[in-house]
Structure 1
Amino acid sequence: METPDFEIASPPTDGISALAFSSQADYLAASSWDNQVRIYEIQPSGNTAPVASYAHEAPSLCVTWSKDGTKILSGGADKAARMYDVTTGQSTQVAEHADAVKCVKFLDQGQQILATGSWDRTIKYWDLRSPQPIGSVQLPERCYSMDSVGNLLVAATAERHILLFDLSNPTTIFKQTISPLKWQTRTVACFIDGKGYAVGSIEGRVGIQYIDEKEQSKSFSFKCHRDDQKNVYSVNAISFHPTYGTFSTAGADGTINFWDKDSKQKLKLLPNVNGTVACTAFNRTGNIFAYAVSYDWTKGYKFAGQNPTNKIMLHAVRDEEVKPRPSTRR
């Protein structure tokens, strides 16, 4: 018998926009449309407790942790990125844009360096010791999704642009391309080895893209999050397992799949949650998988409903669900 998934106590009261685990301990941060960023402790027993929260002045759209687990960074529709210091319990504004901040990342280049991606069509780099950005890049369109591993930063914008940055030269676009998928990009995530990225779109497809020209022949796209009635659902989130490098996709159809890109296999399909899965995250060891059942705004405010569900679920990950398997192809 599979253990049922746990529901986190005291979830956000409006749409959940992003989830992120600390890289040091089992603490989960959630940003949401009620302007709040909430931090939950996940105990070994599976019990959860809200331990802290702080606010933006408009919906908070993204959240991430510093590498040492002492700070949380979030971006919001108030055009600001805010940092919460776990030790002092204080939050401060650390970045600003001319429009909503949709993506935030602490970079591997140092504890103090962060990147913010905005609907104002820029990525800005910040050093926490300075109030002004240390670098800025003009994007072709609004930044929708962003991820970074090692020296690689990938940004996905409106109109299906994908921009790659080598962070040893962060203000120069290293490579600019168009998504291999035909429709609007929803999410982008880097492979754990930094050799490529996965992109998900509103048409229920995922593209696996390698960066090195010698490996580009291994790139492929596949269909997912579609049903027997030929309905097509948005791929809202892609999360890579921190040790195995396999990955999850979560969709507006209420399903979550685990995949192995190397053997091109589906490893596991989780039961339908009867709602939209808006965002996902693995913890640092990959044995807990968090997902938010929450409206994803893909159909606009008309479909937001009178009593929308907003809950964060925790799935205890078993090795056989995420461990790579040898290819069955001859």
Structure 2
Amino acid sequence: MSLVPTVGRELSNPPSDGISNLRFSNSSDHLLVSSWDKSVRLYDANADSMRGEFKHGGPVLDCCFHDDSSGFSVCGDNKVRRIDFNAGKEDILGTHDKPVRCVEYSYAAGQVITGSWDKTIKCWDPRAASGPERTQIGTYQQPERVNSISLVGNRLVVATAGRHVNIYDLRNMSQPEQRRESSLKYQTRCVRCYPNGTGYALSSVEGRVSMEFFDLSEAAQAKKYAFKCHRKSEDGRDIVYPVNAIAFHPIYGTFATGGCDGFVNIWDGNNKKRLYQYSKYPTSIAALSFSRDGGLLAVASSYTFEEGDKPHEPDAIFVRNVNEIEVKPKPKAYPNPPV
């Protein structure tokens, strides 16, 4: 048996340009990967085999699963596509006016939600007969370009440029339930909802993550906080890196962050502690995803051009086995009660 390097197993046949996202399936260890090389690829992460590939008309900026062998992709050519790897076919659900940055599939609502640099969110019904007029459910204007979206149950969180955050109920999209401003001073990179549905984590380009709660009561809002991460001191100067990726562990609710420093950290948000730091990856961490049982973590090591065009390590996908000790919250040590 070959020793697994500390960064995990590297998948063969990686994309040939920047990796925009990767996601594990909800029902297997299939991994869906979108890239600036205009491809969406489906891998079997355990067997290290590529199951299929679609080529689009522009950089693919995000992807998500529908079921184990089909999903949705959004692209720099402004199109929203449904892709079926078993049938080897793709349909165009519709288009935005500018490149489409993010996509999520809501199992609760049976809808595809897309966010674009045209400053809109659109909802689509993938079951409707093909043709944009029939598949599009609604268009919702946003204050700025959409950078990141996340779903939990019927809740949708939209993070845009200009540090705006809109929170919607998918059952009534006519206007946001809440309009917020990011607690962080700099541009939002990633937003991800807590698996338990009580709030969301939001990361910025300036080495920080904020932990937020939906409940507007004073008690709930008193629990919110932000913390610094993905930084280092060099010659007395603080070097600060963007935090590109957040992924929650499906069982424990702890979470991983990935930054342009090439590090992946695991955090216990409830106890405000770092649980683990994996050894450094070759370049920036562009995306992270835990498998459905939390046993695997997929890491996209892919330069995100934060320092402009320069020689960089090849884009790579690593799959690592997750040990419970790395992700399980450590119980607080209480003194023994008096007898």
- Would you say same fold, with TM above 0.5? yes
User: Secondary structure of the equivalent of 2:221?
Assistant: helix
Residue 29 of structure 1: aligned partner: 32
2:74 is the alignment partner of 1:75: yes
- Give the residue type in structure 2 aligned to 1:92: D
Counterpart code for 1:74? S
Residue number in structure 2 paired with 1:161 = 164
Question: Is the counterpart of residue 55 in structure 1 residue 55 in structure 2?
Answer: yes
Paired with 2:145 and 2:334, the residues of 1 have a C-alpha distance of 40
- How far off is 1:296 after superposition? 1.1
Query: AA paired with 1:180?
Result: S
Query: Residue 41 of structure 2 aligns to which amino acid in structure 1?
Result: R
Q: Which runs of 5+ in 2 are unaligned?
A: none
Question: 1:251: which partner in 2?
Answer: 259
Match of 1:146 in 2: 149
Tell me, in whole angstroms, the C-alpha distance in 1 between the residues paired with 2:202 and 2:251.
20
Hey, what's the Cα distance between the residues in 2 that align with 1:326 and 1:159?
39
Report the equivalent of 2:113.
Answer: 115
Aligned-pair identity in percent equals 39
Question: Does structure 2 retain, via aligned residues, the 8 Å contact 1:108–1:151?
Answer: no
Q: Is the 8 A contact 2:109 2:154 kept in 1?
A: no
> Which amino acid in the other structure matches residue 158 of structure 2?
A
Name 1:211's counterpart in structure 2.
Answer: 214
Q: How does 1:97-108 map to 2 (within 5 A)?
A: 97-108=96-107
Paired residues, number: 322
Structure 2 counterpart of 1:273, which letter? Y
- Offset from partner CA, 1:223-270 (integer Å, 9 cap, x none): 000002210000000001111111000000010000011111111100
The 1:79/1:326 distance shift into structure 2, 3 A limit, reads same
Instruction: Return the alpha-carbon distance in structure 2 between the equivalents of residues 181 and 79 of structure 1.
Output: 29
Counterpart CA distance in 1 for 2:45 and 2:261 is 27
**Aligned-partner residue type, residue 324 of structure 2:** D
1:83 shift after superposition: 1.2
Equivalent residue for 1:239?
247
Deviation at 1:2, TM superposition (A): 7.7
Letter paired with 2:58: A
TM-score of the pair, normalised by structure 1: 0.94
Taking the aligned partners of 2:187 and 2:333, their CA distance within structure 1 comes to 32
Q: Does 1:262 align with 2:260?
A: no
Matched, 1:39 2:47: no
Q: Aligned to 2:326, what secondary structure does the other structure show?
A: helix
> 2: distance between equivalents of 1:307 and 1:221?
31
Per-residue CA distance 1:145-167 (angstroms, 9 max, x = gap): 00101011101000110110111
Superimposed CA distance per residue, residues 50-76 of structure 1 (whole angstroms, 9 cap, x where no aligned partner): 11000220100001111x324211111
TM-score, normalised with respect to structure 2: 0.91
Post-superposition Cα deviations, 1:74-97, rounded to whole Å, max 9, x if no partner, equal: 111000111111331211211210
2:229 to 221, 224, 228: 224
SS of the residue aligned with 1:159?
helix
Match of 2:285 in 1: 277
* Distance of 2:188 and 2:333 partners within structure 1: 31
Q: Decide which structure has the larger Cα Rg and report it.
A: 2
Q: CA deviation at 1:42?
A: 2.0
Q: CA deviation at 1:282?
A: 0.7
